[in-house]
A and B are shown apart, each in its own frame.
Chain A
Amino acid sequence: MNTLSAEAWPAIALTLQLASLTTLILLLLATPLAWWLSQTHSPWRSVVAAAATLPLVLPPTVLGFYLLVLLGPQGWVGQLTTALGLGTLSFSFSGLLIGSVVFSLPFAVQPIQHAFEAMGRRPMEVAATLRARPLDAFISVALPLARPGLLTAAVLSFAHTVGEFGVVLMLGGNIPGQTQVVSTQIYGHVEAMEYAQAHWLAAGMVVFSFLVLLALMRLQRKPDRLQA
């Protein structure tokens, strides 16, 4: 039967591994960043907010190219990692992970930031009058209130990483078993005119993305009903 090729499974495995780790790292990075953006009056706020949204509008190949140069042997990040004995990170799983985190950053920051902003200042002020320390209040008041935003951020980061193409192709080099993910493998199949295999992977991707977004829509319906 002419279905998925043998190389498809390592690519699917790598894609899910990449998406899971990207989501985890993004939640850890984006939560404090989103909190700061939602609370601060600093003049730097708009600059940081714009920089954090940049990956949303930049073409992925541009982003991939800059990351490639930055992480490469001549780039300052590449020279730093080489000096630390890590070698260069481009064309490795770690490099892909960095690229994916940058690429999906806005998809994690935006929903969390909006959730924090929608919460208003009052819950934290109330917590403070009950003598909760700021960190304590953040963990036991702000985070639970922002739960829908965190969930949306996680789902979008995961789905967006699964679907990314330009960055991983440029930064990863499409090496089977190392940096070849589902999207770059579809590209390879199309280039090799193996349309049947390309269709199987592509259809799987469509179904997967639809299910993820469907789940997200269902999760998002709940708060609306409570407000009504």
Chain B
Amino acid sequence: MISLFYFRIAITTNGILISHSDDGLPKKRLPMNASFRTSMGSLWRALLSASLALLAVASQAASVSVAVASNFAAPMKQIATEFERDTGHKAVLSFGATGQFHAQIKNGAPFELLLAADAQTPLKLEQEGLALTGTRRSYATGRLVLWSRTTGLVDEAGTVLRTGKFAKLALANPKLAPYGAAAWQVLAQLGLRDALRPRIVEAANISQTLQFVASGNAALGFVAMAQVFESGKLREGSAWVVPEQMHTPLRQDLVLLLPGRGKPAAQALLAYMQSPKARAIIAAFGYTL
């Protein structure tokens, strides 16, 4: 029934979508149903109802809007589910790059809590007066892993980097991604920086790095442990967990932002991030605390 609505709009707008079979996909009651009917009528009524729907969302007191660095997306989804079950508050998660969140928060984004991929951005936000002082703290420290989807290619000491039986090595842009910078530090420590430079492919961020390697376009790459480990075990392929002392710690900080001041749900999530349950989830995804 609801799915028919979507396509009726398409029909009235450009007259090309003819039908949509009801295929039993999961359906959900939508708060914006009313605005659907009106968008076929007048523009103004639709705009009005759209803003009413937004007001309805905004007036839900027990929800907290969280900006989450994309490398922490998977654990945060689990934590949000548990948080909702335990406290009744809802955490609305938006995923993105930390640098982009910084730009958006500076320009008035309504996020109440930021889980950054680094320690610098929360500090900068605090200095800029956009975050509440005293709320900034580390919630996870990432681990760097040299990973290949081929079993047996990467040994447990990372000597594959020296023996060099691979065509391409993927790592994240060191200027944008802390994991990329850490990977360069590891290569420098091993004295392989110049030798390997022609074989390095640079990805925009850590999830693109994983895609390079997971798709087999790069034989191996430096990724986050959280991406390839599940409950403390490697999911597939072969990996070398890089010793922590080989690079600066991949500390990730969180901070409460101005829109979160005095909001019970935001305070509750801030506290929940330190609960044993949340810490267990964070650890299971390959982060140290």
A55: interface (CB < 8 Å): no
Dominant secondary structure of chain A at its interface with chain B: helix
A173-B73 contact, Cβ under 8 Å, with A65-B103, A154-B13, A191-B207: no
A177: interface (CB < 8 Å): yes
Binds B, one of A45-53, A88-96, A105-113, A119-127: A88-96
Chain A residues with CB under 8 Å of B107's CB are 68-69, 71-75, 90
Chain A residues with CB under 8 Å of B50's CB are 17, 93-94
Chain A residues with CB under 8 Å of B104's CB are 68, 90-91, 170, 173
CA distance A21 to B77 in the complex (A): 32
Residue from the set B2, B57, B73 with the largest chain A CB neighbour count within 10 Å: B73
Chain B 104-118 against A: per-residue CB contact (8 Å), 1 yes, 0 no? 101111110000000
Distance from A124 Cβ to chain B, minimum over Cβ atoms (Å) = 27
Chain B residues with CB under 8 Å of A71's CB are 107
B51: interface (CB < 8 Å): yes
Interface size class of B (residues with CB under 8 A): 35 or more
CA distance A219 to B53 in the complex (A): 36
Chain A residues with CB under 8 Å of B46's CB are 17, 21
Distance from A136 Cβ to chain B, minimum over Cβ atoms (Å) = 25
Interface size class of A (residues with CB under 8 A): 35 or more
Chain B residues with CB under 8 Å of A21's CB are 39, 43, 46-47
B14: interface (CB < 8 Å): yes
Binds B, one of A5-13, A31-39, A220-228: A5-13
A3-B26 contact, Cβ under 8 Å, with A192-B74, A192-B77: yes
Partner of A16, one of B9, B25, B70, B109: B9
Interface pairs A-B: 5 shortest CB-CB: A72-B107, A192-B73, A191-B70, A215-B16, A174-B94
